[in-house]
Structure 1
């Protein structure tokens, strides 16, 4: 039987993806517990504001479809307070998830690949949350601006920005240091990192789509089957709730980018190898005996 997963080792493209799901399988219950305990409030707030926004949007669309609104849709009707609150809470939800999962992994490694307690994760979480949350706002703005320039700069920056959060938590780094560090460790390995993240995000979005697809299809059929465009409020609300619950799937790419981080650091600095050499001859059995490629 395969032992507990070792993070500090070199992995190729396939190993990073396979070990992502291996770690999920080995730590499924504590990871899900960590997610709901530290992210549940933000996910709930995000879901409620999104429900309010969707309810308002459905009413506007149905009003226009029934011919009761001949003036079009104004900016204030489309983008009110609930719209910006939904964005804010969505960012807080993703930041809390990143901090919680990265804190879990950092403590897991420090304890010799043992499951951390919730108190230990909380100690990390309260220290890093506002740092990650503030940084995520700036990085999202940077990414949006980059995507506005013909998409290419946004896709190019994506791996570097994704790598910054593991650096900030695992190395206790500032935003500026993490920005420079991500470019240094991804250098010469850009396409492998980019490809790994793209494949994992495709898997995640496929899982999310399978969950919300039935209600989305029924809503679209109902909308275009009548004489006037009409969206079903109940189906729209159910779809929104399912989309919020599906955020749990984004645990997967967080684990993936963390494994990629350790793999790249190991290639350049061999920190894990040096630790194993220094512990050579100890009575402890190796955690993961699968062969490494140096």
Structure 2
């Protein structure tokens, strides 16, 4: 057993979830992120390209005085959101696959097992990611509060696919029963972690933000002084800072996935207390 092994299958309060998340990332950081990077590199590249394209068209439309009137802008926006869902699904899938191997082997990673799990679960996780995105988008558009409710409930749905071996629609439906009685606790954890991530994201993205809005008075809301997209995207410093900003957002998404795994096991233990060995045997069982 890995001497730095962190037992996932136990009850945790807010402070313990945060501290164990940091400990896991500290002790498993290099192999964990390497595994995710290898499995998600192509979706990452495509997503970054789509995001840059979206930023380009938004900047150009702004420069020309019509942000929403451009068909190219709408197309780039669809590409941006679509590829964002795909890359988040790929990273969530590979991160949860790693955690599953980590928990079932007591901290010793079986990389062949991780690879096989990543392949076998990808379609289910991807389908769930699109389904979750649609439901949450509708919830936020109709009324903000339903969107928050759905976001909390569905935060553990990927874990149900990975650790309970459910399909896309079963995981989506069971998430509501699974979170029942634990919604407020889950909301509290996600709220605090979300605030921490937002603050860190703002701080780490500050150089890119300052440079972007300092480049010849660039602003989507100041059309007279804004530069064209061609001028902005010919600046290598802007491009480098922008890509780094996107990579940081990917990192924070992965942190959120680790937190969701700890939340899942915490609720699981509260609902059905088991010995660590029983839990490990369960999560180590693949779909037939």
Match of 1:230 in 2: 226
| Displacement after TM superposition at 1:273 (Å) | 5.4
- The 1:227–1:58 alpha-carbon spacing in structure 2 relative to 1, beyond 3 Å, is closer
CA distance in 2 between partners of 1:212 and 1:3 (Å):
32
| Displacement after TM superposition at 1:125 (Å) | 0.8
Match of 1:291 in 2: none
**Greater RCO structure (CA 8 Å; 6+ sep):** 1
Match of 1:189 in 2: 182
Match of 2:50 in 1: 49
Residue 35 (structure 1) aligned with residue 33 (structure 2):
no
- The 1:252–1:73 alpha-carbon spacing in structure 2 relative to 1, beyond 3 Å, is closer
Match of 1:79 in 2: 74
Unaligned runs of 5+ in 2: 282-288
Which of 256, 260, 274 pairs up with 1:271?
A: 274
Which of 249, 259, 263 pairs up with 2:262?
A: 259
- The 1:51–1:180 alpha-carbon spacing in structure 2 relative to 1, beyond 3 Å, is closer
| Displacement after TM superposition at 1:12 (Å) | 1.1
CA distance in 2 between partners of 1:129 and 1:210 (Å):
33
- The 1:220–1:180 alpha-carbon spacing in structure 2 relative to 1, beyond 3 Å, is same
Match of 1:124 in 2: 117
- The 1:187–1:75 alpha-carbon spacing in structure 2 relative to 1, beyond 3 Å, is same
> Contact between 1:95 and 1:132, CA under 8 Å: does it hold in 2?
yes
Match of 2:137 in 1: 144
Which of 146, 153, 164 pairs up with 1:171?
A: 164
> Contact between 2:217 and 2:226, CA under 8 Å: does it hold in 1?
yes
Match of 2:284 in 1: none
CA distance in 1 between partners of 2:91 and 2:57 (Å):
28
Secondary structure of the residue aligned to 1:27 is: helix
| Displacement after TM superposition at 1:271 (Å) | 2.3
| Displacement after TM superposition at 1:13 (Å) | 1.4
- The 1:127–1:137 alpha-carbon spacing in structure 2 relative to 1, beyond 3 Å, is same
Can you list the C-alpha shifts for 1:47-103, whole angstroms capped at 9, x where unaligned? 112112222222232233xxxxxx7751414212x3322222111100000100000
- The 1:227–1:77 alpha-carbon spacing in structure 2 relative to 1, beyond 3 Å, is closer
Can you list the C-alpha shifts for 1:184-235, whole angstroms capped at 9, x where unaligned? 3322221111111122122223222222212212322442699923144336
Can you list the C-alpha shifts for 1:103-134, whole angstroms capped at 9, x where unaligned? 001111111222232x2211011101111111
> Contact between 1:212 and 1:243, CA under 8 Å: does it hold in 2?
yes
Match of 2:27 in 1: 26
Can you list the C-alpha shifts for 1:125-167, whole angstroms capped at 9, x where unaligned? 1101111111211110000000112200011111111110011
Larger Rg over CA atoms: 1
Match of 2:87 in 1: 93
- The 1:191–1:227 alpha-carbon spacing in structure 2 relative to 1, beyond 3 Å, is closer
TM-score, reference length from structure 2: 0.85
| Displacement after TM superposition at 1:274 (Å) | 7.1
Match of 2:198 in 1: 205
Secondary structure of the residue aligned to 2:226 is: coil
> Contact between 1:103 and 1:121, CA under 8 Å: does it hold in 2?
yes
| Displacement after TM superposition at 1:175 (Å) | 2.6
CA distance in 2 between partners of 1:179 and 1:83 (Å):
26
- The 1:243–1:72 alpha-carbon spacing in structure 2 relative to 1, beyond 3 Å, is closer
CA distance in 2 between partners of 1:72 and 1:107 (Å):
47
TM-score, reference length from structure 1: 0.83
| Displacement after TM superposition at 1:263 (Å) | 0.8
